[in-house]
């Protein structure tokens, strides 16, 4: 349905460039308007593929958390056991939600990254032999996800067309 988001953002961008910018005398303000226009351009390019990016991240995060479950189960201690319970609950809740709104998926993924965040110290090398293999695998699993997520983020910021 028109105007779609691209139409709206393009109109605001044209307004800034054709009407606002020529009437701005202060170079500082003019630069801010230029950056605002750059961000609108980014939003125009990012929005049509946002759902793909969110869905790819969501699938990868879920698969990573699933892969962590047997590793957490193999680790000694209450911290790993508590985290395992929370990961299990998170994955069950995500599965039960079915098709959710974009906001709901983003909120779930923030929660998932929070669980991953808490798993990181459990991969720390230790002189304790129990769970050594699980610790190493946990670290490798988390690292592999972080690398994939960082590459996805970097691909997204390429749309910004701005770097040093």
Partner 1 sequence: MSIGSRLESFLAARVGRPVRVSALSRKSGGASRETYLFEAEWEGSEKRGFVLRRDPVASLLESDRSHEYRVLEAARSLGVPVPAVRWLELGREALDRPFFVMERVDGMVTPPTFPQAYPDEMRERCAEDFVSILAAIHRADWRAAGFGFLDAPAPGPEAARRAVDLWRGIFEKDRIEPNPVLTRAFEWLEENLPSSDQVTLVHADYRSGNYLHESDGRITAMLDWEMAHLGDPHEDLGWAAMPYWASGGRVCGLLPLEDFVARWESATGLRVDPARLRFYQVLGTAKMMAIALTGVRNLCEARTCEPTLAIVGLLNGRLAREVLELIGAGTPATGAR
* Nearest-approach distance from CB 74 to partner 1, in angstroms: 20
Task: Using the Cα atoms of residue 112, residue 117, residue 118 and residue 122 in order, give the sign of their dihedral.
Answer: positive
Nearest CA to 54 among 10, 1, 112? 112
For residues 62 to 101, the per-residue mask of contacts with partner 1, x marking binding by CB under 8 A and - elsewhere, is ----------------------------------------
Distance CA 122, CA 136 (A): 9
CB atoms within 10 A of CB 150: 10
Q: Which residue among 73, 102, 120, 130 contacts partner 1 (CB under 8 A)?
A: 120
* Nearest-approach distance from CB 112 to partner 1, in angstroms: 9
Q: Would you count residue 102 as binding partner 1 (CB under 8 A)?
A: no
Structure tokens at 29: 């303000």
Backbone angles phi, psi at 2, to 5 degrees: -100, 145
Site size with partner 1, rule: CB under 8 A: 38
Q: Which residue among 22, 125, 127, 129 contacts partner 1 (CB under 8 A)?
A: 125
Q: Would you count residue 26 as binding partner 1 (CB under 8 A)?
A: yes
Close Cβ partners of 50 (under 8 Å, ≥ 6 residues apart): 102
Q: Which residue among 35, 70, 73, 92 contacts partner 1 (CB under 8 A)?
A: 35
Nearest CA to 84 among 66, 69, 62? 69
Residues that bind partner 1 (CB under 8 A): 26-28, 31-32, 35-36, 38-39, 42, 110, 113-114, 116-117, 120-121, 124-125, 140, 142-151, 153-154, 156-157, 160, 162-164
């Amino acid at each position: 349905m028109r105007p779609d988001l691209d139409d709206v953002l393009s109109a605001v961008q044209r307004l800034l460039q054709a009407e606002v910018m020529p009437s701005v005398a202060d170079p500082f303000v003019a630069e801010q308007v230029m950056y605002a226009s750059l961000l609108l351009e980014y939003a125009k390019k990012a929005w049509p593929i946002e759902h793909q990016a969110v869905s790819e991240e969501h699938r990868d995060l879920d698969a990573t958390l699933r892969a962590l479950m047997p590793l957490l189960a193999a680790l000694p201690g209450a911290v790993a056991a508590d985290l395992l319970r929370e990961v299990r609950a998170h994955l069950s809740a995500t599965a039960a939600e079915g098709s959710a709104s974009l906001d709901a998926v983003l909120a779930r993924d923030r929660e998932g990254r929070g669980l991953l965040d808490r798993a990181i110290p459990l991969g720390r090398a230790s002189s304790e032999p129990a769970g050594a293999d699980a610790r190493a695998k946990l670290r490798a699993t988390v690292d592999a996800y972080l690398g994939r997520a960082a590459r996805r983020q970097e691909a997204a910021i390429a749309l910004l067309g701005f770097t040093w």
